[in-house]
A and B are shown apart, each in its own frame.
Chain A
Amino acid sequence: MLSAESLKKIDRELAKYPADQKQSAVMPALIIAQDEKGWLATETMNFVAQYLGMAPVAVYEVATFYNMYNLEPVGRNKISICTCLPCGLQGSLDAAEHLKARLGIDFNQTTADGKFTLKEGECMGACAMAPVVVVNDKKMYDYLSNAKIDALIDALSDQLGSR
């Protein structure tokens, strides 16, 4: 179900925990699965559950708890913007509006070309640097003015274009 490479990565995570507590590795295992597949389909979660000897619904609990797990297909760049109160007070709601206008989509939507998905994020622990976004749950961009947002979108677009 997952590639040998992903399984190797999961095994490396598993090695960090006692053999009878494989479920401790569920969060990294889901991240690895999502990195490979782009999102977590039911079969993917089922596979992870089997691989870790967990009840499928227990994996589902974890996957639905955290925003970072995609339970539906997303665009190649998932942009999550923090709209929690501290960020909101510092202009992140305006930044979000700008993002929406620039991409032509609303929250939880994907651009027609499949390049971008826009998400509302929860506090990313970077309130002082608001507005902040995280791209594909991995890389954070802060102090986002509208200009910086446009530059970011252009850069991300170019990256994809060149592939």
Chain B
Amino acid sequence: MLKIEIDGRQLEVPVGSTVMDATNQLGIYVPHFCYHRKLSIAANCRMCLVEVEKAPKPLPACATPVTDGMKVKTFSPVAKQAQNGVMEFLLINHPLDCPICDQGGECQLQDLAVGYGKGASRYQEEKRVVLAKDIGPLVAAEEMSRCIQCTRCVRFGQEIAGVMELGMVGRGEHAEIVAFVGKTVDSELSGNMIDLCPVGALTSKPFRYSARTWELARRKSVSPHDGLGSNLVVQVNQNRVMRVLPLENEAINECWLSDKDRFSYEGLNSPERLTQPMLKRAGQWEAVDWQVALEFVTGELRRIEAAHGGSAIGALATPHSTLEELSLLGRLARGLGSENVDFRLRQADFSADGKLAGAPWLGMPIAALSKLDRVLVIGAFLRKDHPLIAQRLRQIAKRRAQINILHSADDDLLMQIANRLIVPPLEIPVALASIRAGASGPAAAILESLKSGENKAILLGNFAQQHPQAVQIHALAQALAEATGATLGFLGEAANSVGGYLANCLPYGTQSSGGLNARSMLEQPRKAYVLLNAELELDCADPRAALGAMRGAELVVALSAFNHGAREYANVLLPIAPFTETAGTFVSTEGGVQSFHGCVRPAGEARPGWKVLRVLGSMLGLAGFGEESAEQVRDSCLAGKDVSAQLSNRAAVPIEGTAAAPKTAGGGLQRVADVPIYFADALVRRAPGLQQTKDAQPPRAGMNAKTLAALGISAGQPVRVRQGEGSVRLVAALDPGLPDQCVRVAAAHASTAGLGAMFSTLSVETLPVEQAA
């Protein structure tokens, strides 16, 4: 420890601390621009100059290491003069356009100029002009004359996003921030640059010029997307969500947000919002009032129950629904005498149902990921499925943690990968068994890596959980974890992937005899379905089966915030509120119970889903629908229970012989189905900004060069992809990260919904010329 005195106050700091660390510890504010605690030190703005005893000149606090006995003055005349001087220089070339600047009111430069700047400029000469840049649909770089070259945006790309998309070119007065000629900023974390930019140079394209920061009311909320449960500040003006910013929570999202969490709010104001109950009468959709719609629903449900029994009814929800909604949906189904209720829509293998010791979860706190030194990630499109978990792993990879990958696509994770085993989807269990056996090549290296570390984890990604042999993968991973002393974790696909278990929105339960799971419910069609938030043709493991079941049903009740594909097959659409318009709870992948309140009133006639379900339950005369508030519903699921005791990744399932070669019927091509980041749920699908990004380009049929050559197809050529009964037209693309004989065809998109199950074999044919046109 080193002793230091700052502004007369004594303090001890660890060796290696900077003066800035020490002032932070004391809560003394030193003005700064380029310094950011999550980024490397650049010391290029010089705003943080302080007086250090015995030093001939003021020194930058952010870059000056503490030495023992150092005496620092942060607002002595010398320090103040230096800081004022730097501010004057910074303002020389800065435009005086605060009144028309989108950053006005939340600008670090503006704030500090008040404290350290002069009332008027002494600079009479011409200011420099930096031309606007188009760097993509999310981040605006329209007013680059405002840039003060702090390089935070550049360092963010290099260090946090893992890809340097912006750089500072030129020198001296000609220096400017640019993307490489003709390139844009495509990182899934790009929006953070807007927060980092201390001036109005980088601004939010979707938000800019729509409101002033001081007009906005701030409400805390929780992201409804991936299982991380990022904490949000939802900013509201006149009952409209105008913008979403991160709420700093070091244990979850740190100070970051993925672009999905940040920009998906645009979907809340989408013209596709369902704002009135709709009833289909004689093939025509009619807007009706709630009473009529609800009476219709209860009447029909009772009729079907009477005619066919409760088990003719199925209830399906997305794991993006709130805990309260999921709980009430389960109660509603059970009240009607049906155990057919599930939220695991993209899951294909349910053979562990009833054999799980608890809800599958991360197996550790999210923050503990940052302490790992050995990781095996199985079946995950990590960057796109879990942008901020990928970010945490990227940071530990830099500190020499070994990240190992077993997957079916070698996508660039923008981090150092120690060993990778890339195999066709159906071979993942075999490959995992070979790792366990320490076979040879990468499998042996992965086992070695796992054996060697101290803090290790085996993480099962979305792809592994959606796999038709997910339970075998689980069992093998469990055995491997035991053998190596690693923690087994599930990366939660959605905001309530854990919460759905706690809400018992499951076809099996403690007291239940067991009903049909999400898959069987569609394969063995029911007479009636209640859909909660689900766009089945996009949210399901097998959209063809789903559509078939819906079309054949007598009654489909869709509770949704959006007017979506259910129009085709539903009988009634009930408008419910998205996460910003209802109270609710998400249980994150680390088992964190995060409740939130509504930020705005529901749009139009929409109502919080839990209220709609509660009213339905009461109208049906079912017991257990007496709760008056979302809190009460939550408490009835969780109160008095220890959540952590309900989390477990243990499954009592034996490992089957996996040595046998996988069955690829007829040597066909295997489908590698990712769920693209901006198609993954109903809200992101309707966020225009996100839909313009590279990640939201329509799915293509990706193959590696060898597979393309073997099929005689060239990239860019239109092809017909057949999978079982289904077939769709796509454009072939080169995807060098795929194993041989594999085709990447994304799920969750209308253009591929015709194909059916996410895991399957398929064939690819070139299209005759006239059809290709």
B167: A residues at CB distance < 8 A: 55, 57-58, 60-61
A60: B residues at CB distance < 8 A: 167, 169, 178, 180-181
Judge whether B399 is part of the interface by a CB distance below 8 angstroms. no
Interface residues on A, range: 10 to 19
In whole angstroms, what is the CA distance A46 to B180 when docked?
9
Judge whether A91 is part of the interface by a CB distance below 8 angstroms. no
Judge whether B166 is part of the interface by a CB distance below 8 angstroms. yes
**Docked-complex contact A61 and B182, CB < 8 angstroms:** no
**Docked-complex contact B181 and A42, CB < 8 angstroms:** yes
B 147-182 binary contact with A (CB < 8 Å = 1; else 0): 000000000001000011111111100000011111
Closest residue on chain B to residue A64 by CB atoms: B169
Judge whether A56 is part of the interface by a CB distance below 8 angstroms. yes
A46: B residues at CB distance < 8 A: 180
Picked from B158, B165, B166, B171, the residue with its CB within 8 Å of the CB of A64 is B171
Judge whether B183 is part of the interface by a CB distance below 8 angstroms. yes
**Docked-complex contact A42 and B164, CB < 8 angstroms:** no
A55: B residues at CB distance < 8 A: 158, 163-165, 167, 180
B171: A residues at CB distance < 8 A: 64-65
A61: B residues at CB distance < 8 A: 167-169
In whole angstroms, what is the CA distance A57 to B165 when docked?
7
Question: What's the minimum C-beta distance from A57 to chain B, rounded to whole angstroms?
Answer: 4
Closest residue on chain B to residue A46 by CB atoms: B180
Question: What's the minimum C-beta distance from A7 to chain B, rounded to whole angstroms?
Answer: 22
In whole angstroms, what is the CA distance A42 to B183 when docked?
11
Question: What's the minimum C-beta distance from B170 to chain A, rounded to whole angstroms?
Answer: 5
Interface residues on B, range: 10 to 19
B165: A residues at CB distance < 8 A: 55, 57
A 56-87 binary contact with B (CB < 8 Å = 1; else 0): 11101100110000000000000000000000
Question: What's the minimum C-beta distance from A46 to chain B, rounded to whole angstroms?
Answer: 8
Question: What's the minimum C-beta distance from A33 to chain B, rounded to whole angstroms?
Answer: 16
**Docked-complex contact B170 and A65, CB < 8 angstroms:** yes
**Docked-complex contact B164 and A58, CB < 8 angstroms:** yes
**Which of A46, A57, A61, A65 is the most central at the interface, judged by chain B CB atoms within 10 Å of its CB?**
A57
In whole angstroms, what is the CA distance A57 to B185 when docked?
11
In whole angstroms, what is the CA distance A95 to B55 when docked?
44
Picked from A42, A57, A65, the residue with its CB within 8 Å of the CB of B166 is A57
A57: B residues at CB distance < 8 A: 164-167, 169, 178-180, 183
Question: What's the minimum C-beta distance from B504 to chain A, rounded to whole angstroms?
Answer: 49
In whole angstroms, what is the CA distance A46 to B158 when docked?
18
**Which of B158, B165, B167 is the most central at the interface, judged by chain A CB atoms within 10 Å of its CB?**
B167
B168: A residues at CB distance < 8 A: 61
Question: What's the minimum C-beta distance from B168 to chain A, rounded to whole angstroms?
Answer: 6
B 619-650 binary contact with A (CB < 8 Å = 1; else 0): 00000000000000000000000000000000
In whole angstroms, what is the CA distance A45 to B180 when docked?
10
Question: What's the minimum C-beta distance from B621 to chain A, rounded to whole angstroms?
Answer: 64
In whole angstroms, what is the CA distance A60 to B180 when docked?
7
Closest residue on chain B to residue A42 by CB atoms: B181
Within 8 A of B (CB), among A14-67: 42, 45-46, 55-58, 60-61, 64-65
Closest residue on chain B to residue A55 by CB atoms: B164
In whole angstroms, what is the CA distance A71 to B181 when docked?
12
Nearest first, the 7 closest Cβ-Cβ pairs linking A and B are A55-B164, A57-B167, A64-B169, A57-B180, A56-B180, A61-B167, A42-B181
- Could you tell me which B residues sit within 8 Å of A by CB distance? 158, 163-171, 178-183
- Could you tell me which A residues sit within 8 Å of B by CB distance? 42, 45-46, 55-58, 60-61, 64-65
29 A/B residue pairs, CB under 8 Å, sorted by A:
A42-B180, A42-B181, A42-B182, A45-B180, A55-B158, A55-B164, A55-B165, A55-B167, A55-B180, A56-B180, A57-B164, A57-B165, A57-B169, A57-B180, A57-B183, A58-B164, A60-B167, A60-B169, A60-B178, A60-B180, A60-B181, A61-B167, A61-B168, A61-B169, A64-B169, A64-B170, A64-B171, A65-B169, A65-B170
Q: A46-B180, A55-B164 are in contact. List 18 more A-B contacts (CB 8 A).
A: A42-B181, A42-B182, A45-B180, A55-B167, A56-B180, A56-B183, A57-B164, A57-B165, A57-B169, A57-B178, A57-B179, A58-B164, A60-B178, A61-B167, A61-B169, A64-B169, A65-B170, A65-B171
